[in-house]
Amino acid sequence: MSNWYGKLIKFSTLLTLSVVILGAYVRLSDAGLGCPDWPGCYGKLIPINIDASETILEFPERPLESGKAWKEMVHRYFASTLGFVILISAYLAWQNRKSVNQPVKIPIATLFVVIFQGLLGMWTVTLLLKPIIVMAHLIGGLVTLSMLFWLWLEYERGQSKNKILKRSFKWPAGFMLLILSCQIALGGWTSSNYAALACPDLPTCLGQWWPEEANFDEGFVMWRGLGVNYEFGILEAPARVAIHFTHRLGAIFTTLILIITTIYYLRKNQNQSKFRMASYFVWSALIIQISLGLATVWWGLPLLVATAHNAVAALLLMATINFNHVVTAEEE
């Protein structure tokens, strides 16, 4: 397997993590429409020397805010670089396809995912932060991260002396990953609908264990037509309460599933340090993530804490993927 391929996979994984975190920062700092056009910003690829008076004529609904424009464009620069690196990685994988340990399908699939991710980025702007698109954009970024991280783990495995006899799906670990993915998507729905502070108290919601005013039917309408500007949200308070409260319930359920599943595998493999280490990674990320979630509500959605909450969600996903990588492998 090519050393260049391995280096690019590691670099692109870390770059994807950076893009995901930067995207969360852009979204949470309300800079998602910092550039009202795409792929440029007020008609320029670099947001410098932009005439504010001209932007008012061309984009009367979106006056220039330089800080937000730069945030959005830096995110696009990072994402474009990532796409280029993944393209090269896919090319190297295809060139080395005759090598025994060289995966080809996942690198090629990752390239198509990141192309579609670029389209979602465009639609995020052109469809004015439509929540379903914003959530899909988040999911696409995490799918890209997951695929690249799996390739990284496979590359490291190929470099080790332990050879894999076969890989077989283990449903408890797979179910754990599925539940976590759903919870992260629900977090994206909460963020894109500006519902993070819909329940400002802890541990209750609006002073109730089950908020009576929550409107679940309205809170989970996925499509509301075109031409609506979703910046700062359009839902009434009861719908936002329903979304936030569902995210809380999902967090409790996800935590239980992750703890029960990791303990189940630890009990089955008590003498294998790799299972313990993989479990410790999951537990550590889980504890930090719960703490950040509580702090986000308790302190009123501070930008750095909320961004860290998104970042650790990605790390928890990576820890869970690593756990699946361990449990699905049968070695010599």
CB 129 within 8 A of CB 230: yes
CB 46 within 8 A of CB 38: no
Q: Pick left, alpha or beta for residue 229 (phi over 0 → left; psi -120 to 50 → alpha; otherwise beta).
A: beta
CA-to-CA distance for 130 and 231, rounded, in angstroms?
8
Contacts 24+ apart (CB under 8 A), 146-150: 146/317, 146/318, 146/321, 147/106, 147/109, 147/110, 147/113, 148/9, 148/12, 148/13, 148/16, 148/86, 148/110, 149/13, 149/318, 149/321, 149/322, 150/106, 150/321, 150/325
Residue with token string 């393209």: 87
Question: Among the options 58, 65, 72, 331, which is catalytic?
Answer: 72
Residue by residue, DSSP assigns 136-192 as: HHHHHHHHHHHHHHHHHHHHHHHHSSPPEEEE---HHHHHHHHHHHHHHHHHHHHHH
Judged by DSSP in three states, 328 sits in coil
CB 37 within 8 A of CB 125: yes
Q: Is 72 a catalytic residue?
A: yes
Residue by residue, DSSP assigns 32-99 as: TTSSSSSSSBTTBSS--S--HHHHHHH-TTS---HHHHHHHHHHHHHHHHHHHHHHHHHHHHHHTTTS
Q: Which residues are catalytic?
A: 72
